[in-house]
Structure 1
Amino acid sequence: GLEALMRWHHDGLGPVSPLEFIPIAEDTGLIVPMGAWMLEEVCGQAVRWAEELGIEPPPISVNLSPRQVAHAELVPTVARVLQDQGVPASWLALEITENVLISEAESPWNTLQALKKLGVTLMLDDFGTGYSSLSYLKRFPVDVLKIDRSFVDGVGSEGEDSAIVNAVVRMARALDLGVVAEGVETEAQVQALRQLGCERAQGFLFGRPGPAAQITPLLQGAEPDWLEPVPGRQPAPDA
């Protein structure tokens, strides 16, 4: 699968980190129209790949902020974009973080249930770093747990990290949930994750963030230069 990341290159300032503009967008409410625009772009790109390459593109995940999940127009927007673009719901995954689930209101549950009925995949991002109870995994209709990179960093070399990853993988299997390890940067981590039963991962080892044009050769079955594994540890991505 693929994950869509929002990036901003300002004509005067150059690249602006998401760590700077995303919190501002969240505070001002601009994250809602920005998120709708991103859904349009992601689904439109999936359609272009399908038409140009004659293949079914892999699922593309889009991050949702707490403000987006709380907004009344989220579900209608997702439904409209899927219909207007002619995109099967299985092509889209939506990622939320644990702080979305800890709201005492019923709105997160209702919203996630409605999204689930549309047929999109729901992923719980940065799993293990929030303050939510494990009971939320039973209550909310998530499909995939994404193990936070802070636990993946030491997998295979640090006993605590390996034990945590092992526990998450076993729990996910028992709950019939998928698992993805985030922030994988070395072959040693891949081997350790496989031994622990985690077969899906993402990180710099497999490819750095890039524009859609750089993804096309990968979907065509080629191995572009940007996909080469990154030797050793690298700085963490900015989002």
Structure 2
Amino acid sequence: MYAAKADGKGKVKVFYPAMLEERRTRRILEMDLRHAVQDGCLELNFQPLFDAQTARLKSFEALVRWHHPMQGTIAPDQFIPLAEETGLIVALGDWVLREACAEAAQWPADIGIAVNVSALQVGHGEMLPVLVNTLAATGLDPSRLELEITESSLLALKPETVGFLRSVQELGVRVSIDDFGTGYSSMSSLQNFRFDKIKIDRSFVQAINGDAKSVAIIKSILELSSKIGVTTTAEGVETSAQLDYITANGCTEAQGFLFAKPMSKEAAREFIRQNA
């Protein structure tokens, strides 16, 4: 091991061989991800969302996947944070938006598409032109597109962010708040901006019939959503009991392994053919 000055005068940072190897691996992964984004070596999977009351197929959520040529499949919770930390998330997000809209444009007109958007994308000045150009290039009706923004990205809704989200809605695109209930900004986010949909985090849904506190939170979210006229999606629905509870309490949509796992674009087309 060796020591190096860091974090200011008089401070040292100790490096062990394992730490050096971790940094080297991270740099290599970053370069590989950069090439994957530039060369289009990523792919999208699609997970369906259903009407919780009628079980009718309503839309799909686009989920990016990375199959590394040497390391195999790399989990999103590994490369998405890396993309955010390095700024690659903007180019990655633009690619996902273009690919998702192009694919959805080939589906029946009543099937929508949801795309996740990071805080860095929202704060990037080119996001709105990219969105406008993507819709024009793909021919996708704006009403079929939904942008999902995680609650953690909204801890501080700046005026320019609110302005961007309103501009998105003026295009006819819907805006939803994802992983709702996991952060500290839940109520303030709803006060500062009129979202089209609330997606209840899977951690609450999966605790149904086991955690009274989570059940109470879900019920409160559904009651609030009904009062302010916002649709709701329960994420991570895996059992009939979970579905029965959210349905009985007025949840609008459901998503999870009980219905279907994420699938390739080819499988999604066949799924639509059988279920639309």
TM-score normalised according to structure 2 size: 0.75
Correspondence for 2:235? 182
Correspondence for 2:142? 89
Once the two structures are superposed, the pairs formed by residues 101-120 of structure 1 within 5 Å of their partners are 101-103=154-156, 105-120=158-173
Correspondence for 1:234? none
Give the match's secondary structure for 1:72: coil
2:106 aligns with one of 25, 40, 48: 48
Correspondence for 1:52? none
1:16 aligns with one of 57, 74, 98: 74
Structure 1 residue 202 displacement after superposition: 0.3
Q: Which amino acid aligns with 1:38?
A: V
Percent of residue pairs bearing the same amino acid type = 40
Structure 1 residue 171 displacement after superposition: 0.1
Size of the aligned set, in residue pairs, is: 218
Higher strand share: 2
Can you give the 5+ residue segments of structure 1 that lack an aligned partner in the other structure?
A: 50-54, 224-239
Correspondence for 2:60? 2
Correspondence for 2:250? 197
- Residue 86 of structure 2 is aligned to residue 28 of structure 1: yes
Once the two structures are superposed, the pairs formed by residues 55-66 of structure 1 within 5 Å of their partners are 55-66=108-119
Structure of higher CA gyration radius: 2
Q: Does the 8 A contact of 1:69 with 1:100 survive in 2? A: no
Q: Does the 8 A contact of 1:99 with 1:130 survive in 2? A: yes
- Structural RMSD (CA): 1.5
Correspondence for 1:146? 199
Correspondence for 2:266? 213
Between the two structures, name the one with larger relative contact order (CA 8 Å, sep ≥ 6).
Answer: 2
Q: Does the 8 A contact of 2:93 with 2:117 survive in 1? A: yes
Cα 1:194–1:108 shift into 2, 3 Å = same
Cα 1:215–1:198 shift into 2, 3 Å = same
CA distance in 2, matches of 1:43, 1:194: 30
Q: 1:107-164 deviations in whole A, cap 9, x for unaligned?
A: 2111111111111111100000011151321321311000111110122443222211
Q: Does the 8 A contact of 1:180 with 1:200 survive in 2? A: yes
CA distance in 2, matches of 1:150, 1:222: 28
Can you give the 5+ residue segments of structure 2 that lack an aligned partner in the other structure?
A: 1-58
- Residue 177 of structure 2 is aligned to residue 124 of structure 1: yes
CA distance in 1, matches of 2:154, 2:93: 19
- Runs of 4+ in structure 1 over 3 Å off: none
Q: 1:158-187 deviations in whole A, cap 9, x for unaligned?
A: 322221111100100111100000000011
